[in-house]
Amino acid sequence: MFLKINKFLNDVPKIAKGQKKFLSCKWLEHGIIFDHANIIRVCCEQSHEGKGRFILDDNFNGIFFDKQKILDIKRQLRNQVRNGIIPDFCKGCQFLESDYWDDEDYFSEVLLTHWTNCNTRCIYCPAVRDNNLSDENIYNIIPILEQMFDSKLINQNTHFSIAGGESTIYPEFDKLIYFLLEASVSNITVNSSGIRFAPSVAEAIAKNCAQICISLDSSSSFLYKKIKGSDTFNIVINNIKRYLQYEQISEKRVIIKFIILKGINDNNKEILDWFMLCKNLGVKRLAVDLDIAWYNEIQRNIPDYVKSLIIFVKEMSEINNVQLDLYDRADKIYKMIKNSEKNKYNT
């Protein structure tokens, strides 16, 4: 209730100015992705009818950020939604929401994923499936971010998310984290296998400026190796413990993720074992999602047992007072379940 009241109070000045609500999303309005293969995108969401991932630049050389070109394309897209026209690539996306979106030019969301090399070979990774793991054509992102800071397109309030590939083996990774900290950025998300312990991330966690999301996906070295293609389960467990030592008592900045995979870990036992392992390690925040390829196959007819898995882990987290983040596809399934229950109740 408090959040709704606070949201209403924030909207009052916009209503007074005659602003109107319209469908859009934070990525379409103020997001940018530096992707691999010298591509810059609007977003990375692809589990919907429009398949997303609109390209802003397909030949980015990593040297000069053409601010005008990128903003012009973004403005065209943003003008469409202001006129009630949803771009084809956005159709069916769960992240579209009606709000009083502003007209300013800046980036509140920056995803850095221009690096595909990795220290695991996860069977659910699109780059592994497409044999697209590489350290070729990698550019240093820091000079680009300096240009964007100078142009006031990003600032200390921007959320920076770093992925890959494996983020922590990106050549300039530690320099990048320290660069962001020196710029007073306080919202950094690092997605990692957890195999390499990054002192820069530990320092950022201690300063409450970063969170790390480690994909464990299992509770045993046997299953971990089967999923990740790497016999490093114990190394990751030890690194999780090390990161937790830097987390302040009131914070939840070490996130352990479980990606549900068909025929491998898609059962209550595996999820429960993973959940209890994380709880016993002292982890206070978990995340769950579905393998994207599998989801794309079943999204029009989600099996009941998959729905029950989402409900199971949701209930487990509530009973044990553990924060649970349902990522894209898991969140979509959970909302589908809740909407179905609501409609059933109303009929």
Inside any domain, residue 10: no
Return d(Cα 347, Cα 252) in angstroms, integer.
40
pLDDT band at 97 (very low <50, low <70, confident <90, very high): very high
Return d(Cα 212, Cα 243) in angstroms, integer.
9
* Cα angle: 149, vertex 155, 158; to 5 degrees: 125
Inside any domain, residue 2: no
Q: What is the 3-state secondary structure (H, E, C) of the chain?
A: CHHHHHHHHHHHHHHHCCCCCEEECHHHHHEEEEECCCEEECCCCCCCCCCCCCEEECCCCCCCCCHHHHHHHHHHHHHHHHCCCCCHHHCCCCCCEEECCCCCCCCCEEEEECCCCCCCCCCCCHHHHCCCCCCCCCCCCHHHHHHHHHCCCCCCCCEEEECCCCHHHCCCHHHHHHHHHHCCCCCEEEEECCCCCCHHHHHHHHCCCEEEEEECCCCCHHHHHHHHCCCCHHHHHHHHHHHHHHCCCCCCCEEEEEEECCCCCCCHHHHHHHHHHHHHHCCCEEEEEECHHHHHHHCCCCCHHHHHHHHHHHHHHHHCCCEEEECHHHHHHHHHHHHHHHHHHHC
Tokens of 39: 């591509």
* Cα angle: 88, vertex 91, 97; to 5 degrees: 125
- pTM of structure: 0.91
- Give me the pLDDT at residue 9, please: 53
CATH code of the domain covering residue 260: 3.20.20.70
Split into its structural domains, the chain has a count of: 1
Could you read off the pLDDT of 42-66 as tens digits, one per residue?
998 887 888 889 999 999 988 889 9
Inside any domain, residue 213: yes
The mean-pLDDT minimum among 9-13, 106-110, 202-206 falls in: 9-13
- Give me the pLDDT at residue 95, please: 87
Q: With contact defined as beta carbons under 8 Å apart, do 301 and 332 qualify?
A: no
Inside any domain, residue 101: yes
Name the CA radius of gyration of the chain, rounded: 21
Could you read off the pLDDT of 233-274 as tens digits, one per residue?
999 999 999 999 999 999 999 999 999 999 999 999 999 999
- Give me the pLDDT at residue 72, please: 96
Tokens of 165: 């590939």
Whether 1 shows a pLDDT value over 70: the answer reads no
Inside any domain, residue 5: no
pLDDT band at 3 (very low <50, low <70, confident <90, very high): very low
Inside any domain, residue 16: no
Whether 38 shows a pLDDT value over 50: the answer reads yes
pLDDT band at 116 (very low <50, low <70, confident <90, very high): confident
Inside any domain, residue 26: yes
Q: Which domain holds residue 187?
A: 22-346
Could you read off the pLDDT of 131-181 as tens digits, one per residue?
777 666 688 999 999 999 999 999 999 999 999 889 999 999 999 999 999
- Give me the pLDDT at residue 247, please: 96
Torsion of CA 305, 289, 261, 110, to 10 degrees: 160
Could you read off the pLDDT of 211-241 as tens digits, one per residue?
999 999 999 999 999 999 999 999 999 999 9
Inside any domain, residue 17: no
- Give me the pLDDT at residue 6, please: 55
